Structure 1
């Protein structure tokens, strides 16, 4: 399982290096508001209660999560016929997430009660029929675990010399795809139990339009892979240490996501489309800093701190055109309504 994003609020923290993810939200912010106002009937959802529960699944440490939940709350308030709603926001992430930083940076002027729920969103997190809107951005492309075949040296899916499925053998691609399908099925099964009838899931996740298309962000993985291979050639790293490392990320094809949702049968697809993030000015070190904030813990878990630092220092040499490509890799935007 991948490590959480870098905590704290320092130079290498996720809170300081997550503007690309914020751009993804900005690209669909109006669509989220419109979907909530058109599809969420608060009177029917609440059945006389005034508590409205919103869960952010994979919240990390902020500040993006605060902006997202405020966007949802604003839309619900605009649609609601009552002025006395009490909003409860449940911030979810892995047990190792830096919830201390998250709660220390909560907006002082906020109109919701906040709570943390630690654990994997590939399992149950909340009581039955207790969540009205679940939101997940930039999280579902992380797998719950590496496919088993990638861990066994004699397996057809042993990914020697590579750290991802991009450019890998058919067996490796298949292993990643099967793990993704299992994870998404578990995610939907659990949310179907937790979300009230008529409630919604809002998903924004890195993805591709067709199965044979590589997501632009994989260029970063290719670059890190090349760095690791150079370190093997220099005698800094053993080949088998690199061979046994794989990044637990899959950029799903939109048609596969649609098929898995339809197979689950508990959700109506209100909207599912490809989106491109808003263009931003990309400083030369910006994308590498984002990479560090997101993946440093995962690299340290496998290679240790000293090797990871060397990898990230070398990654600062990433060519500008590769950074621009990686920064503008699109995603899948999905709005699902509980039947």
Structure 2
């Protein structure tokens, strides 16, 4: 969950098992956003009122680490350069801010930021903003473009209704699992509506007038039966159940592992 207390921790560094070397699926999703980002940059650069006084602030919420951390903001910076070159207009000064939870491997991210700062046209200033995107991160009316990929499906916390009704994160009994499915789906939907509404309210305060947001996240149509989903989460849950039965994992911890 994307909160300060409970968070998805990615393997740090640049080793063989690191997130940086095992995130090709996430990178493919980012590439699908390229045309959207380029189109939005053209809109922003064409609206001189939005960019007064010639500055643009671009943020990536949930930037992660490794090559993916710079993918979206790099697309935006390149689009700014291409647009200004084509129309022979001065480039705005660009501020690129990367956000993720404090536990993120920002040491690796900071080292890669040098590539963005080497650009002289446009001038690019970079920064790190650690924290949950379910809280205020930037000053009022300061951000022109918000990008986020594969992050906003993480909730701020496990649904309260599940914990209140003592519904475990996963029940090995298939019959019980299917009986509880409507309650579980509604609990997650309720928490998501609450979190996403908060996210929009916070970003509304931080965006300049005419600012833009481009967001990509996992989801499903509400009329698709959940059992048609990929089986990976269920396989992982079954493995964890076996580990509980063998005493490797504490059952109480497993029952609280909502995902």
Task: Output the TM-score relative to the length of structure 1.
Answer: 0.65
Change (3 A) 1:4 1:43: farther
State whether residues 60 and 97 of structure 1, in contact with CA within 8 Å, keep that contact through their aligned partners in structure 2: yes
| 1:200-244 residue CA offsets vs partner (Å, 9 max, x unmatched) | 001011112334344977522111011012223444444443222
CA distance, structure 2, for counterparts of residue 126 and residue 34 of structure 1: 24
CA distance, structure 2, for counterparts of residue 54 and residue 90 of structure 1: 6
Q: Which runs of 5+ in 1 are unaligned?
A: 248-339
Q: Secondary structure at the match of 1:24?
A: helix
Deviation at 1:160, TM superposition (A): 5.0
Q: Secondary structure at the match of 1:55?
A: strand
CA distance, structure 2, for counterparts of residue 193 and residue 72 of structure 1: 22
CA distance, structure 1, for counterparts of residue 21 and residue 205 of structure 2: 35
CA distance, structure 2, for counterparts of residue 245 and residue 157 of structure 1: 11
CA distance, structure 1, for counterparts of residue 167 and residue 190 of structure 2: 12
1:205 to 217, 223, 228: 217
* Alignment match, 2:99: 92
State whether residues 40 and 199 of structure 1, in contact with CA within 8 Å, keep that contact through their aligned partners in structure 2: no
Q: Secondary structure at the match of 2:254?
A: helix
Deviation at 1:116, TM superposition (A): 0.5
* Alignment match, 2:30: 25
| 1:288-324 residue CA offsets vs partner (Å, 9 max, x unmatched) | xxxxxxxxxxxxxxxxxxxxxxxxxxxxxxxxxxxxx
1:161 to 150, 154, 171: 171
1:123 to 135, 159, 174: 135
CA distance, structure 1, for counterparts of residue 248 and residue 77 of structure 2: 51
Deviation at 1:246, TM superposition (A): 1.2
* Alignment match, 1:73: 77
CA distance, structure 2, for counterparts of residue 98 and residue 215 of structure 1: 35
CA distance, structure 2, for counterparts of residue 2 and residue 93 of structure 1: 10
Q: Secondary structure at the match of 1:161?
A: coil
Q: Which runs of 5+ in 2 are unaligned?
A: 1-5
Q: Secondary structure at the match of 1:201?
A: strand
Q: Secondary structure at the match of 1:129?
A: coil
* Alignment match, 2:113: 106
In the TM superposition, structure 1's runs of 4+ consecutive aligned residues that sit over 6 Å from their partners are: none
* Alignment match, 2:46: 41
Task: Output the TM-score relative to the length of structure 2.
Answer: 0.83
Deviation at 1:104, TM superposition (A): 1.4
Q: Output the aligned Cα RMSD.
A: 2.4
State whether residues 44 and 51 of structure 2, in contact with CA within 8 Å, keep that contact through their aligned partners in structure 1: no
State whether residues 156 and 172 of structure 1, in contact with CA within 8 Å, keep that contact through their aligned partners in structure 2: no
Q: Secondary structure at the match of 2:217?
A: strand
CA distance, structure 1, for counterparts of residue 191 and residue 224 of structure 2: 18
Deviation at 1:36, TM superposition (A): 3.1
